[in-house]
Amino acid sequence: MRNVEQIWQIVDEKRADYIALADRVWDTPELAYGEHRSAAEHLAMLEREGYRVTREVAGIPTAIMAEAGEGGPVIAILGEYDALPGLSQEAGLDEPRAVEGQGGVGHGCGHNLLGSAAMLAASAVKDWLAQSGQPGRVRYYGCPAEEGGAAKGFMVRDGAFADVDIAISWHPASFSGVNEAVSLANTRIDFTFVGRASHAAAAPDLGRSALDAVELMNVGVNYMREHMPDDARVHYAYIDAGGIAPNVVQARAKVRYLIRARDLSGLTALVARVRKIADGAALMTETTVSAQTVSAVSNLLANTPLEQAMHDNFQRLGPPEFDDADRAYAERIRATLSDADIAAAFDRSGVPVRRDLAMCDFIIPFGARGRGGNGSTDVGDVSWVVPTVQARGATCAAGTPFHSWQLTAQGKSPAAHKGLVHVAKVMAGTALDALQDPGLIERAKADLAERTRDTPYRSPLADDVHPPIQAMSRGV
C-alpha cells in the first residue's frame, strides 16, 4: 500500500491545478476537431510539467502526445476535451439556461473533466517515476473529436499506439467502478444526391428532386429497422436539404447517416444494406448518389486482467467522499429528471435502481452487466491494438443522462471536482500496478491476443478516409 498511497498523495498535491484546468476547458467549449483553445490549455500544462511533447499527432492539429520517464513499459493514459453542439448551459443551475457567447456549445458529456483527470493521473505517475527511479514511461494522449470524429481511430491507423504496453482511460458518470467494455461499432457516411433543378410549378416534369431521393432513402431505412439486429442502430440528419425555395426542384441534397452495430462484421453487413437503399432511392428518382465516409470506430474489447487491477484500486480507495451540499444540489438536478431517466442510468450501469440515492456512495461490483442501449467510442480502436481499461468516475447526480443540459450544469460543481480527483487516483494506481508487476502487462497482452486471435484488427477507416477536420470543427 505504501507506493499507492504515495501516488494518491501526489494527486492530492496537484489537484488544484487540474481542477482549474477542467474549469477553463468548460468555460471555452469547442466542437470536435476545433478544440484549439482546449488543446492549448493542455499543452501549456504539459510543458509546465516538463513532458516531452509531440504536437499534431496523426496530422490532427488538436491531437497531442506527451511522454515522461525512461525505459521500461509504456503506460498510456487517454484524455479528451471536445464538447457538443446545442448543450450550452450555465454552471450550477437546476434549470436550462444557455451561456451567452458560447454559440450553443457545451460540455454535455464531461470531457472537460475527462482530459483533466487523465492528465492529473499521468502527471502523478510521472512524478512517482522520477522519485522512485524505476524504469518506465507514462504517456498522456490528448485525444480530440471523440464525439463522432473518430480521432483515436486515425491515431491508431497512423501508428501512434504502436509501442504502448497498456492504455488507461475513464469517463464521467453517475457511478464509480470499472467501465463495462461494451460499445457499438459505428460509421458516419454522407450520402449526396444530385438531380436536376427546375421550376416546381411551370416545369416540374423536367426536374429530378435530390430531396425526394433523400426522403425515399430515409423511408427505406425506416422499413429496414424491423429486419436488423435488435442492438443495431441507424440515425440520420440532413446536412443539406436542397435550399429554402419550395418553388425550385432541389437539385442537390445531402444526408448524414450514423450506422451502429455490435461489432465490425455486423457493421459491414448493415452498411452494405443501407448503401443498397441509397442506390434504390437514386434509381426511383432518376438522380445520382455518392457516399463519403466521415468517420468510423470499432467496438470496445474487454481486458479482464486490467479490469481486475482497476477494480482492486477502486476497492482500496473506496467511493468518492461527497458531502451534504453535493447531495443537495444533486437532488435539485434529479427533480428535473424523469423516473425513466434515472432508472435508465442505473440499468446501464448494471446496479439496482435506488431512487433515494442522490450521489454515488458505493463501487460498482466487479463484472456487473448493464442493460439497455449502448453508445460508441473511438477508445474501441485503441482496445483492439493495446490492452485497454476504462473507469467510470462519479461526477454528477445519480441518474443524470449523458448529452444533457443537466450534465453540462454540473461540470464545474464541487462534486465534479471531487470525482475528477478520485478517478485520477484510481487510474494512477492502476498504472502503478502495471509498472511494478510485469506479469500484469503480460497477462493483459495475452488476454488481448486471445480475444483477437480469430478476428485480427482491421481499421474500419479506409486509407482514403481522412480526419474531417474542417467540416466537423464547423459543426457540419
Residue 304 has what pLDDT? 98
Which residue is associated with the grid cell 480526419?
467
CA dihedral of residues 102, 107, 108, 114 (deg, nearest 10): 180
C-beta of residue 70 within 8 angstroms of C-beta of residue 63: no
**pTM of the entire structure?**
0.94
Residue-wise DSSP of 393-439 = EE-S-TTPPSSSHHHHHTTTSHHHHHHHHHHHHHHHHHHHHHHH-HH
CATH of domain 2-183+300-451: 3.40.630.10
How far apart (Å, rounded) are the C-alpha atoms in residues 303 and 77? 16
Which grid coordinates are listed for 376? 460508441
Say if 2-183+300-451 and 185-297 have the same CATH topology.
Answer: no
Residue 444 has what pLDDT? 98
CATH of domain 185-297: 3.30.70.360
Residue 473 has what pLDDT? 58
C-beta of residue 191 within 8 angstroms of C-beta of residue 293: no
Residue 345 has what pLDDT? 87
Q: Structural domain boundaries of the chain?
A: 2-183+300-451, 185-297
Alpha helices by DSSP H, 286-378: 304-317, 324-334, 339-349
- Tell me the torsion sign for CA atoms 161, 263, 378, 121: negative
Residue 102 has what pLDDT? 85
pLDDT in tens, 371-382: 866 889 999 999
How far apart (Å, rounded) are the C-alpha atoms in residues 211 and 192? 10
CA dihedral of residues 375, 19, 32, 27 (deg, nearest 10): 120
Angle at alpha carbon of residue 389, lines to 385 and 393, rounded to 5° = 145
Q: Which runs of E-coded beta strand occur in 179-277?
A: 185-194, 233-240, 252-261
DSSP state of 197: -
Spatial neighbors of 331 by CB under 8 A, at least 6 apart, are 358, 397
Longest dimension (CA), the chain: 84
Residue 51 has what pLDDT? 98
Residue 349 has what pLDDT? 86
SS3 (DSSP) at 122: helix
Which residue is associated with the grid cell 435502481?
353
Which grid coordinates are listed for 167? 492504455
User: What stretches in the chain show pLDDT beneath 50?
Assistant: none
Which residue is associated with the grid cell 506527451?
66
